[in-house]
Structure 1
């Protein structure tokens, strides 16, 4: 029996995982923009919990297909890494190509904003 068809299916599955992560990174960019106007502890958990949306189906599928925990963990890490890369790449794309800053209140030209200095002092205090 030729083992190559199995390799093709496995590669295709991992490409789908990376594609899920890349798409989620862009969607997450808009999701956090959408929930910024809400307040409360639920928003905090919603902002962090949304990262389980692409992770759970991928990890559950990989563990069902391979029956190996290490492969499921690797699939989850790959999805998260792809999502993070896509998020920051899209942030840069918005800034460079479209010309829209996602956090204009944090830009140094907004020093007259009433919350600018509190944002800067907060970042300096927690930047280590």
Structure 2
């Protein structure tokens, strides 16, 4: 983390989640906001993914992307189970560009996003640029 700059890890994770939405294989996680928050078209996402993998093992990039998508699915299924049992709050540590709070299917669930101030400011700007509304259930 560099002072005054958003997290590179948050960017890499968000890119993997966004590309997963258009990848040519079965989806393990669906997030319709993953692409819009990045501000990239499917063609731009594909071009960036190909460029990032140039000269490297493409299987590594695929496995990394599937890991990120699987991790997100697991976390959101765990939250859904907890909500069904009565949980009313969830905290996302290192929220980065995670979009759960903006897709939250339960308006009674309070979501707290915690991250580095520069990353949070960057996210707020990307949300505004994408026209993604910040829900009242988010802190």
TM-score, reference length from structure 2 = 0.29
Structure with the higher helix share, 1 or 2: 1
- Greater gyration radius: 1
TM-score (norm 1): 0.31
